[in-house]
Amino acid sequence: MSSQPNNLWPEDFGVIAIVPPVVILKEQAGVLSRMTKNIVEGEVRSSSLAPGGQFYHTLGLVAPALGGYRYELIGIYHDIQLYPADVVYLLGNTRETAHSEEELKDILRNRFADDRTKKIISALIAQSSVQSA
């Protein structure tokens, strides 16, 4: 004879109001793609196999005209709590911690504006122009 088990769970799990780092990263990937007319596309890859059960996301710069050449720009580690998130700027191999959505956006804004980032993107556009000419 079967009976329904007692429900020990709360009625409501609540809604997290914060935006996950991967969402911010994907938004910025789309923005870059639109800015460059898809000559350089931002592409996010995610994995949940990072050490310590962390999530790991990378933002790569992809040049479709160069056979899909991909240059890794940013890596973000975080656990299931989403924040704090460790941001690794792969061009400089620097690591910073964002404790909130706003801090993450500030770090990304600074890293996107870094001369090394701009140089890589402009080089990918230039190389794509030569390659596809």
Partner 1 sequence: MLTFLFWNLNNRPIEDRVRRLATRHEPDVLILTECAIPAVTMLRTLNTGNETGDYHLTDSKCDEVVIYTRFSREFTVPMHESGRYTIRAISLPARDQILLAATHLPSKLFIEEHGQTLECVGLAEAIRATERRAGHSRTVLVGDFNMNPFEAGISAAMGLHGVMAREVARRGMRTVQGASYPFFYNPMWGHFGDASKGPPGTYYYERADHNVFFWHIFDQVLIRPSILDAFDNENLMVLTDDGSDSFLSERGRPDRRTASDHLPMVFGLNL
> Which residues of this protein are in contact with partner 1, per CB under 8 A?
33-34, 37-39, 41, 43, 62, 64-65, 67-68, 125, 128-129, 132-133
Q: Could you give the angle at the alpha carbon of 51 between the alpha carbons of 44 and 94, nearest 5°? A: 60
- Could you check whether the bond before residue 5 is cis, i.e. omega within 30 degrees of 0? no
- For partner 1, the closer of residues 48 and 132 by Cβ is 132
- For partner 1, the closer of residues 113 and 130 by Cβ is 130
Q: Residue 82 CB, nearest distance to partner 1 (Å)?
A: 24
Q: Residue 71 CB, nearest distance to partner 1 (Å)?
A: 16
Write out the two tokens for 35: 């800015």
Place of tokens 């996010």: 44
CA pair distance 27, 31, nearest whole angstrom: 6
> What three-state secondary structure class fits 71?
strand
Q: Residue 30 CB, nearest distance to partner 1 (Å)?
A: 9
- For partner 1, the closer of residues 34 and 119 by Cβ is 34
- For partner 1, the closer of residues 18 and 126 by Cβ is 126
Q: Residue 132 CB, nearest distance to partner 1 (Å)?
A: 4
50 Ramachandran zone, left/alpha/beta (phi>0; psi -120 to 50)? beta
